[in-house]
Amino acid sequence: MIRISPVRVVDENGNQLGIMPTARALEIAQERGYDLVEVAPTANPPVVRFLDFGQYKYELAKREKEAKRRQRAVDFKEVRLRPKIGQADFETKVNRAIEFLEDGDRIKVTVQFRGRELTHPEIGRNLLLRFAEAIKDHGTVERAPALEGRAMHITVASLHKPKAGEAKAADGRRGDEGAAKASASVPAAGGGSLPAAASAGGGSDRAARTTTGA
């Protein structure tokens, strides 16, 4: 519910309609089939806009979710191989590694030797090089195969950005475009709470947002 009056009004196309009583702004919004949404509550006077409030809430939630994804730390995953691994298992490990790399994670690929297997380290080295070749479109080897104790490993850096900053960011960009339109020619909104809105009518959710006027 918008309790302050007057307000600065921006229409659904981003055009400034000037300063007017909240009741009058609500009346115009209702005539055009929109909700009256407060987009800059700290401005003087507060700025409101004609919007579909349900869509506005959806876009806000989507942008917040996207922001959290962008803060996601890059994980370090490990894929373990055996010197005598079968082709089917090898391909399964490759596919798993590619999934990690597509998520933007770094991976450590390890060959674990047992018993007399350690007398043939070249088997592990060749296996790691074959593995690196299989994932080369998704990651780059940061170090050559190195034997440490009874294990040999390589580390691989992803060639993909974390999903939060790549494919999933597409939705964020679309949401940002909606936000840019909502705030066109108006002061920046303050606070982190959901903006107040006045409804043009409808169900109980909309009724809860209907203002009583100035």
The CATH number for 137's domain is 3.30.110.10
Task: Convert the pLDDT of each residue in 194-213 to its tens digit.
Answer: 455 554 444 434 433 434 34
- How far is Cα 68 from Cα 58, in angstroms, rounded to an integer? 16
pLDDT score, position 162: 67
Domain range spanning residue 190? 7-68+170-207
Query: What pairing do the DSSP bridges indicate for beta strands 151-158 and 139-141?
Result: antiparallel
Question: Token pair for residue 40?
Answer: 């800059």
The band of 154, judged by pLDDT with boundaries at 50, 70 and 90, is: very high
**Residue 214 within any structural domain of the chain:** no
Is the separation of the CB atoms in 52 and 68 below 8 Å?
no
> What's the structural domain count of the chain?
2
Is the separation of the CB atoms in 134 and 93 below 8 Å?
no
The band of 1, judged by pLDDT with boundaries at 50, 70 and 90, is: low
- How far is Cα 147 from Cα 201, in angstroms, rounded to an integer? 71
- pLDDT higher for 186 or 32? 32
Domain shared by 28 and 99, yes or no = no
Is the separation of the CB atoms in 36 and 29 below 8 Å?
yes
- How far is Cα 121 from Cα 113, in angstroms, rounded to an integer? 8
Phi and psi torsions of 17, nearest 5°: -100, 0
Domain shared by 174 and 138, yes or no = no
| pTM flag (> 0.75) | no
What CATH number is given to the structural domain containing 201? 3.10.20.80
pLDDT score, position 74: 58
Given a cut of 80, is residue 168 above it in pLDDT? no
Q: What is the mean pLDDT of residues 74-91?
A: 89
Question: Token pair for residue 1?
Answer: 């519910």
Lowest mean pLDDT among 21-25, 35-39, 130-134: 35-39
**Residue 212 within any structural domain of the chain:** no
